[in-house]
Amino acid sequence: MQEAFLKLWYIRGKLDGYHSVEALVMQVTKNLTLDKLRARRPEASDIGTLSLDSGLPSPAEQLEQQDAAARIRRLIAQLPSVQQTIIRMKDIEGYEIAEIAEITGSQVEAVRSNLSRARKRIREQFLQLNKQEQL
């Protein structure tokens, strides 16, 4: 709940622009809750009960995924600030495009366009990095 309050506090000057602040509060709370659930890792006691074919990635695969995630974070940090904000809000925090447009004070189409450009740039640079590594 504290994180939800903090997010709302940071945008407190823009709250009057929302049609329904209650709906915004519910959406922010839902998104934060889903983030927490996704971040949960198996307990140590659960590990002993997992079978070898549980579908969990191997330690090598986990390391590759962590490395790829770190690369993507670095690539996002290199984007223009508007694109950084939009891609983080959409792909990391789970906001809808209309919500992002309201929060940023942009048009929905501008948000879609910036999101598309950001994703395309990250994809191209990520593939280029992987290609260079294979050489």
pLDDT in tens, 59-110: 888 888 888 888 899 999 999 999 999 999 998 889 999 999 999 999 999 9
- Please tell me the distance from the alpha carbon of residue 62 to that of residue 133, in angstroms, as a whole number: 18
Phi, psi angle pair for 121, to nearest 5°:
-65, -45
Q: What is the pLDDT of residue 90?
A: 92
Please tell me the total number of residues recorded for the chain in this structure.
135
The whole-number pLDDT of residue 52 equals 53
Over residues 2-29, mean pLDDT: 85
Spatial distance between the Cα atoms of 95 and 80, rounded to a whole number of angstroms: 19
DSSP per position, 92-129: IS---HHHHHHHHT--HHHHHHHHHHHHHHHHHHHHHH
pLDDT tens digits for range 27-73: 888 888 888 888 776 555 445 555 455 567 788 888 888 888 888 99
Report the interhelical angle of 59-77 vs 108-134 (nearest 10°). 130
CA atoms within 13 A on the CB side of 12: 5
The answer to whether 50 touches 57, Cβ cutoff 8 Å, is no
Phi/psi of residue 70, nearest 5 degrees: -65, -40
CA-based torsion, 55, 60, 63, 68: positive or negative: negative
The pTM assigned to this predicted structure is: 0.56
Average pLDDT over residues 107-130: 93
